[in-house]
Structure 1
């Protein structure tokens, strides 16, 4: 990223002070990123965003008081919301899934290597989703629950109708995303360039009116269930 650009403004939200300190050390050490505020719960996060107008919010989901899911929902209703990058230890799959369904732009595990957390912040700041393939697969698995046969049929019909607007190559890309593959792996499977995969994925977001890869994966799973 160009060092002459205005640094990406980041708010850290986590009820664990040690986590906040560690993230601040990692992120503030990058010349193109800067921490503008910290918050320990959802209400404080909303106040910090209102005051600082950050580009990215690193949002924990499980906190005392107002949790990260509720705060994410409110922030994403704003006219110019920040990009939300969810933090999780995966003891709260359902909360993470709820945040992603709401429109959060990605998620990272708290034990992710620091360099990858920094990359994820940059990725969502640039307008792209930041979702680990392995983590994506786990969240999708958490979303799979029992349904009545009638409900499954209705869900399947609706999902297939939405997917019918895709080209064959876009559908292949969507199915690969549902398997948790990253762009390089999708490019190898489909014998296309990574840039073409990115173009197909952008088209999927536009045609399906979705915000992230998990939403694409869930739609594909609904269609094939």
Structure 2
């Protein structure tokens, strides 16, 4: 198995070291040297074969959001997971708009972080359940990321054409559940869930899982 190349960029050395120690224990991860600033992150992505970058938001010399925009604008790799101590709705919205594939709090469970890295590496997107709530609240106040407008009438017509099972899967995605959790809830195979997710992305013209979360909340599918 080809290892997943991961790096951590955080201006707090102890925090970065803790994450690196956690990741280095995983046989499918290769931990590369990280950095301490947003500019370090941008330079790192230009010079290293990174697959996934864990990036702090609040850093000197270019913050994590600006770095995320620069990195995602340059190409599809690496996939960026934004990490923060602060569960602030503006951070969630701006991270999604900047192109982050994931948004997690630093105090998330280790298993959640490891699963998130593997998910975004394979093209998925992850947003913590708590952050999902903040993203929904931001939408309700009209603070929509510029590249993700609320669904129009055509989108609502498309939603009406989804199968009951696809709507079930979309609702579970919107509340922050993983594919394995959805499979357990619905009593179906995880491979079947993955098929439904691919179909939803295609039918709803969404770029990733985060976009599905945004659309489902904006459409009022989740209360």
**What CA distance in whole angstroms lies between the structure 2 residues aligned with 1:112 and 1:28?**
18
| Contact preservation (8 Å) 2:135, 2:214 | no
Residues 64-115 of structure 1, C-alpha deviation per residue, up to 9 Å, x if partnerless? 2311112112211223421111112234331232222333221222112334
What TM-score, normalized by structure 2, do the two folds share? Answer: 0.81
- Gap regions ≥5 residues in structure 1: 148-153
| Contact preservation (8 Å) 2:87, 2:105 | no
- Gap regions ≥5 residues in structure 2: 144-149
| C-alpha distance 73-207 of structure 1, shift in aligned 2 (>3 A) | farther
What TM-score, normalized by structure 1, do the two folds share? Answer: 0.80
Instruction: Say how many residue pairs are matched.
Output: 215
**What CA distance in whole angstroms lies between the structure 1 residues aligned with 2:102 and 2:82?**
6
Q: CA deviation at 1:188?
A: 5.2
For the pair 1:101 / 2:97, whether they are aligned, the reply is yes
**What CA distance in whole angstroms lies between the structure 2 residues aligned with 1:52 and 1:37?**
9
Work out which of the residue numbers 100, 105, 110 in structure 1 matches 2:106.
Answer: 110
Work out which of the residue numbers 190, 203, 219 in structure 2 matches 1:223.
Answer: 219
**What CA distance in whole angstroms lies between the structure 2 residues aligned with 1:190 and 1:115?**
22
Name the SS for the 1:108 alignment partner: strand
Q: Which residue of 1 aligns with 2:194?
A: 198
| Contact preservation (8 Å) 2:68, 2:80 | yes
Query: What root-mean-square deviation, in Å, do the aligned CA atoms of Structure 1 and Structure 2 show?
Result: 2.7
Q: Which residue of 2 aligns with 1:56?
A: 52
| Contact preservation (8 Å) 1:108, 1:132 | yes
Q: CA deviation at 1:164?
A: 5.2
